[in-house]
Structure 1
Amino acid sequence: MKKFFKNKKRLLFICLIVMVSLTACSSPRGSDGKTKVNEIITSETFEVQKKNVNVTEIPEEMQAEYENLSDDDYITIEATSFGDAMNTGWFNGLIVWPIAQLINWIAGKTDAGFGIIGATCLIQLLVFAFTVKSQVSSQRMQMLQPELQKIQNKYAGKTDDRSRMMQAQEMQALYKKNNISPFGSILVMFIQLPILMGMYYATMRASSIVVGSFGGIDLSMTPLAGLQNGQISYIIIFVLMVVFNFLSYKIPQWLQKHEKKKQHIKEKKYAQPKQSGGMMGNMNMMMYMSTAMIAILAFSWPLAMSFYWLVSSVFRVVQNLAVHKFFISKKTA
Structure 2
Amino acid sequence: MELFNAIGNILWPLKWVVSAILVGFHWIFEQLGMDPGAGITWVLSIIFLTFVVRAALIPIFVRQIKSQRRMLEVAPQLKKIQDKYKGKKDQFSREAMSRETMALYKETGTNPLSSCLPLLIQMPIFFSLYSVLHEAQINKTGIGLLTNDLARSFGDASLFGAPLHETFTNASGWEVRVIAGFMIIVMTVSQFITQLQLVAKNMSPETKESPMYRQQRMMLYILPLIFIISGLSFPLGVMFYWLASNVWTMAQQFFVIRSMPTPGSEAALAREARLAKRAQRRGTPVLAEAGAGAGAVEVEPVRVNTQRQQPVGKNRAKKNGKK
So what's the TM-score if we normalise by structure 1? 0.57
Q: Which residue of 1 aligns with 2:307?
A: none
Q: CA shift at 1:25, angstroms?
A: 8.0
Identity of aligned residues (%): 22
After TM superposition, the structure 1 = structure 2 runs for residues 174-323 of structure 1, keeping only pairs within 5 Å, are 175=108, 180-206=110-136, 207=151, 209-214=154-159, 217-226=162-171, 228-229=173-174, 232-257=178-203, 260=204, 265=205, 272-273=209-210, 278-286=211-219, 288-323=221-256
Unaligned segments of structure 2, at least 5 residues = 30-40, 137-150, 273-323
Per-residue CA deviation, residues 126-179 of structure 1 (Å, 9 max, x unaligned), is 022244212432365357656533432233245446665445445555x45xxx
- 1:137 is aligned to 67
Take 1:330 and 1:142, find their aligned partners in 2: how far apart are those partners?
9
Distance of 1:325 and 1:140 partners within structure 2: 19
Amino acid at match of 2:237: A
Deviations 1:19-76 (A, max 9, x none): x9863389xxxxxxxxxxxxxxxxxxxxxxxxxxxxxxxxxxxxxxxxxxxxxxxxxx
Point out the more displaced range, 216-225 or 109-118.
216-225
| Superposed counterparts of 1:10-29, under 5 Å | 23-24=4-5
Shift, 1:314, TM fit: 0.7
**Residue 108 (structure 2) pairs with residue 127 (structure 1):** no
* TM alignment of 1:20-39, pairs within 5 A: 23-24=4-5
- Structure 1 gaps of 5+ residues are 1-19, 27-87
Task: Provide the C-alpha distance between the structure 2 equivalents of 1:143 and 1:132, rounded to a whole number of angstroms.
Answer: 17
Residues in 2 aligned to 1:328 and 1:183: alpha-carbon distance in whole angstroms: 21
Equivalent of 1:97 in 13, 16, 34: 16
SS at match of 2:11: helix
CA RMSD of aligned residues (A): 3.6
Q: Which residue of 1 aligns with 2:319?
A: none
How far apart are 1:183 and its partner, in Å? 4.3
Q: Structure 2 matches for 1:108-123, cutoff 5 A?
A: 108-110=27-29, 111-123=41-53
CA distance in 1, matches of 2:214, 2:262: 25
1:38 aligned partner: none
Bigger radius of gyration among the two = 2
- Separation (CA, whole Å) in 2 of partners of 1:205 and 1:131: 31
More contact order relative to length (CA 8 Å, sep ≥ 6) = 1
How far did 1:326 drift?
A: 4.1
Instruction: Please name the residue that 1:63 is paired with.
Output: none
Specify the code of the residue in structure 2 equivalent to 1:254: A
Supply the distance in 2 between the matched residues of 1:326 and 1:119 (Cα, whole angstroms).
Answer: 27
Once the two structures are TM-superposed, the CA of residue 329 in structure 1 deviates from its matched residue by 4.9
The answer to whether the 8 A contact 2:54-2:245 is kept is: yes
| 1:141-160 aligned within 5 A | 141=71, 145=75, 148-157=78-87, 159-160=92-93
SS at match of 2:86: coil
Contact 2:51/2:245 (CA < 8 Å) preserved in 1?
Answer: yes
Q: 1:125 is aligned with what amino acid?
A: A
Residue aligned with 1:224, SS: coil
Matches of 1:163 and 1:291, distance apart in 2: 33
Q: How many residues align?
A: 235
User: Which deviations, in whole Å up to 9, do the C-alpha atoms of 1:232-274 show, x marking residues without a partner?
Assistant: 33321221122223333333212324xx4xxxx5x59xx713x
Q: CA deviation at 1:91?
A: 1.3
C-alpha separation between the residues in 1 aligned to 2:223 and 2:193?
A: 12
1:195 offset after TM fit, Å? 1.4
CA contact (8 A) 1:136 1:327 kept: no
Separation in 2, partners of 1:196, 1:300? 15
Deviation at 1:96, TM superposition (A): 1.6
Q: Is the 8 A contact 1:227 1:234 kept in 2?
A: no
